[in-house]
Amino acid sequence: MSDKYHHGDLRNALLEAVGEIIQERGIGAVSLREAARRAGVSHSAPAHHFGDKRGMLTAFAGRGFEEFGQRMQVAADEVAEEGFQAQLGAIGIEYLRFAVERRPYFEVMFRSEMHDNTDPDLKTISHDSFGVLMSVVEAMGPEELGGAEPMHVAMGAWSTVHGLATLWLDGALSQFTDEDLFTLVQGVFDARNAS
Amino acid sequence: MSDKYHHGDLRNALLEAVGEIIQERGIGAVSLREAARRAGVSHSAPAHHFGDKRGMLTAFAGRGFEEFGQRMQVAADEVAEEGFQAQLGAIGIEYLRFAVERRPYFEVMFRSEMHDNTDPDLKTISHDSFGVLMSVVEAMGPEELGGAEPMHVAMGAWSTVHGLATLWLDGALSQFTDEDLFTLVQGVFDARNAS
DNA sequence: TGTACATCAGTGAACGCGCGTTCACTGATGTAC
DNA sequence: TGTACATCAGTGAACGCGCGTTCACTGATGTAC
C-alpha cells in the first residue's frame, strides 16, 4: 500500500504524524514537511488537506477536543450515582490523565497561538467540553455549593487540575514521579474538602 | 551613545529586547538576531554574552525568577500579621499579577524546554521562589491545615493560581475581561473557603 | 604625562539548514454514456 | 463491456526567508611601567 500513488487515508496519517512529532521532539518541531516525511508523502501534500500549517494544527486540536470531550463525559457519567463531589473528582482525574496520556493534543488545544481559535467548529467543540463540567456544577444545590457561585466552583476545579497538568508537563514537578502525580491530585482534593 | 562602538550595557539591553519581542510577537518570535536588531547591534553580538540562544533565554528566565521571588516575598510579608489565609491569598493574587504584568518572564520561566533547567543558578532561584509559599504553609498549625499535608495545601494553592494564569494567558478565558480575572480569583478563593 | 600592550566588546561576511508556500504537472479513480 | 472524460490526490522543482553558529577581524578601553 505504501507505493500507491493515492494514499487513501492521508489526512489521518498526517494528523497521526503531528502527534508523533510532538511526542518525540516537542511542539516546536512540528512542520508541514516533517509531517509529510513521516506519512511517506511529498512535502507539498499536506497543503492539499489543510491549506497551511495553522490549518493542520487546527484540525489536530479539533481531534483532540473531540476525544477530550468524550472522555470528560464518560468520566462524569460513570460515577453519576455517587454524587456531585464524586463527579467533580472523576472529571479532574480524567483531565489529568488526558493531559499525560495525550500530551500532544493537550498542548495544541490549550496553546491558542498554535491554532485558529476563531474556527467555528473548534469553538463549538471546545465550548462543549467545558459544558460537561459546567452542567455538573449547575446541577448542584446551594448546600453542595456552600453558597458559592457555580461559575466560581467550576473555575476553581478547572484551574486546579489545569495548573497541575501544565506544571507537570512543563517539568516544574520533576520531584514527583509519574504515579505520584495522581496520589498528589487526590491529596490536593482531600486537603480542600478538609479545610 | 548609540554610535559608540562599545554599547556599555548590552547584556541588559538584549534581555530587555527579548521581553519586548515576546510581548509584541510571542515567544516563537524570539531569536538572537531579532534581539540584536532591537538593541542596535550586530547579529553576532549576543553570542558574546550568552553563548547561544538557550543561554540567552536561561539568563532571561533567571531575571524573571529574581523579580518573581521578590514579589512573592513582599506580598507574603505585607500581610504577615493578618494570618496565614491572608498570606496565601496575597501570594496567589501577586502570582496572577506577575503573570499578567510580566507575561514574557512568566512564559519563559515556566516553559522548561525554552531554557536550560539544569543551570544551577536557575535551579536555586526557582527553588527559592517556591520556598516562599512552602514556608507560609509549613508555619500553619494542624487546625489551619484542617489535618491536611502541608505539601498538599501548597500544591493546591499553587496549581490553582497557576492554572488560572495559564488559562488566561492562553486565551481560554477570553469571555472575561482583564479586571474580571481578579474578581474571579477572589471568587474562586472564597468558594473554596466556603465549602 | 606618555607610551606600549593586553584584554575585551562588538563586527560583518560566510556557511548551511529547514522551513512555508506556490504552481504547473501527472497519475489514479470514478462516472456517464 | 468498453471508452471518454472530469475530478481528485499527490508530485517535484523552485522561490525567498530568517535563522544559529563560526571566525578572522577591528575598534575601544584599561593597565603597567
Tens-digit pLDDT profile for residues A64-86: 999 999 999 999 999 999 999 99
Question: What is residue A114's predicted lDDT score, i.e. its pLDDT?
Answer: 95
Q: What is the mean pLDDT of residues A28-36?
A: 98
Q: How far apart are CA B179 and CA B188, in angstroms?
A: 15
Question: What is residue A192's predicted lDDT score, i.e. its pLDDT?
Answer: 80
Q: Does residue B141 sit at the A interface (CB-CB below 8 Å)?
A: no
Q: How far apart are CA B62 and CA B119, in angstroms?
A: 10
Which residues touch B170 (CB under 8 Å, ≥6 apart)?
A: A110, A111, A112
B183 and B115, same structural domain?
yes
Chain A residues close to B84, C-beta within 8 Å? none
Is this structure's pTM higher than 0.75?
yes
Q: With the CA atoms of A193, A75, A61 and A168 taken in that order, what torsion angle do they form, in degrees rounded to the nearest 10? A: 40
Q: Does residue A188 sit at the B interface (CB-CB below 8 Å)?
A: yes
Question: What is residue B8's predicted lDDT score, i.e. its pLDDT?
Answer: 80
Which residues touch B78 (CB under 8 Å, ≥6 apart)?
A: B90
Q: How far apart are CA A165 and CA A54, in angstroms?
A: 24
Identify the domain containing residue A30 by its residue range.
1-51
Higher confidence at residue B165 or residue A179? B165
A111 and A75, same structural domain?
yes
Does the pLDDT at position A178 exceed 90? Answer: no
A90 and A43, same structural domain?
no
Q: Does residue A142 sit at the B interface (CB-CB below 8 Å)?
A: no
Chain A residues close to B149, C-beta within 8 Å? 187, 191
With CB atoms and an 8 Å threshold, state whether B160 touches A160.
Answer: yes
Question: What is residue A1's predicted lDDT score, i.e. its pLDDT?
Answer: 40
> In this structure, how many other beta carbons lie within 10 angstroms of the beta carbon of residue B67?
13
Question: What is residue A106's predicted lDDT score, i.e. its pLDDT?
Answer: 98
Domain boundary among B36, B51, B66: B51
With CB atoms and an 8 Å threshold, state whether B161 touches A163.
Answer: yes
Chain B residue closest in CA terms to A158: B163
Chain A residues close to B165, C-beta within 8 Å? 163
- What's the CA A1/C1' D1 distance, rounded, in angstroms? 29
Does the pLDDT at position A99 exceed 70? Answer: yes
Residue nearest to nucleotide D18 (CA to C1'): B33
How many domains does chain B contain in total?
A: 2
**How is residue B31 annotated by DSSP?**
-
A43 and A116, same structural domain?
no
- Nearest chain A CA: its distance from B20 CA (Å): 17
A156 and A93, same structural domain?
yes
Chain B residues close to A148, C-beta within 8 Å? 187, 190-191, 194-195
A98 and A44, same structural domain?
no
Question: What is residue B2's predicted lDDT score, i.e. its pLDDT?
Answer: 41
With CB atoms and an 8 Å threshold, state whether B167 touches A110.
Answer: yes
Place of cell 455538573: A136
With CB atoms and an 8 Å threshold, state whether B171 touches A195.
Answer: no
B20 and B84, same structural domain?
no
Domain boundary among A51, A67, A86: A51
Q: Which nucleotide is nearest to B31 (CA to C1')?
A: D19
Angle between helices A53-78 and A84-101 (to 10 degrees): 150
Q: What is the mean pLDDT of residues A163-171?
A: 96
Confidence of residue A11 (pLDDT cuts 50, 70, 90): very high
Q: How far apart are CA B34 and CA B54, in angstroms?
A: 14
User: What value does the CA radius of gyration of chain B take, rounded to a whole number of Å?
Assistant: 19
Q: Could you tell me the CATH number of the domain that includes residue A110?
A: 1.10.357.10
A14 and A87, same structural domain?
no
B119 and B141, same structural domain?
yes
Closest CA to A163 of A63, A95, A89, A113: A95
Q: What is the mean pLDDT of residues A126-149?
A: 94
DSSP per-residue codes, A36-84: HHHHTS-TTHHHHHHSSHHHHHHHHHHHHHHHHHHHHHHHHHHTGGG-H
With CB atoms and an 8 Å threshold, state whether B159 touches A161.
Answer: yes
A119 and A130, same structural domain?
yes
Confidence of residue A3 (pLDDT cuts 50, 70, 90): low
CA distance to A87, A163, B2, B18, B118, per residue, from A98 (Å) = 16, 14, 52, 33, 28
Q: Could you tell me the CATH number of the domain that includes residue A43?
A: 1.10.10.60
Q: What is the mean pLDDT of residues A134-146?
A: 94
Question: What is residue B3's predicted lDDT score, i.e. its pLDDT?
Answer: 56
Q: How far apart are CA B27 and CA B39, in angstroms?
A: 18
A108 and A76, same structural domain?
yes
Closest CA to A114 of A106, B165, B61: A106
Model pLDDT for residues B148-185, shown as the tens digit of each residue? 999 999 999 999 999 999 999 999 998 899 889 999 99
CA distance to A123, A174, B132, per residue, from B127 (Å) = 38, 12, 9
DSSP per-residue codes, A87-153: HHHHHHHHHHHHHHHTHHHHHHHT-TTTS-TT-HHHHHHHHHHHHHHHHHHHTS-HHHHTT--HHHH
- Positive or negative, the CA dihedral A122, A127, A131, A132 is positive
> In this structure, how many other beta carbons lie within 10 angstroms of the beta carbon of residue A151?
15
Range of weakest confidence among A27-41, A138-152, B10-24: A138-152
Confidence of residue A53 (pLDDT cuts 50, 70, 90): very high
A163 and A98, same structural domain?
yes
Residue nearest to nucleotide D9 (CA to C1'): A6
Strand D bases with any atom < 7 A from protein Cβ: 9-14, 18-23, 27-29
Confidence of residue A195 (pLDDT cuts 50, 70, 90): low
- Which of A21, A126, A159 to mutate against chain B (most B CBs within 10 Å)? A159
Confidence of residue A170 (pLDDT cuts 50, 70, 90): very high
Q: Which residues of chain B have pLDDT under 70?
A: 1-3, 195
Q: How far apart are CA A148 and CA A160, in angstroms?
A: 17
Closest CA to B107 of A166, A190, A193, A59: A166
Q: Does residue A80 sit at the B interface (CB-CB below 8 Å)?
A: no
- H helix intervals, B113-149: 120-138, 142-145
Domain boundary among B11, B32, B51: B51
Mean pLDDT of chain A: 94
Q: How far apart are CA A190 and CA A185, in angstroms?
A: 9
Asked whether the beta carbons of B45 and B10 are under 8 A apart, the reply is: yes
> In this structure, how many other beta carbons lie within 10 angstroms of the beta carbon of residue A76?
20
- Nearest chain A CA: its distance from B29 CA (Å): 12
- What's the CA B33/C1' D9 distance, rounded, in angstroms? 40
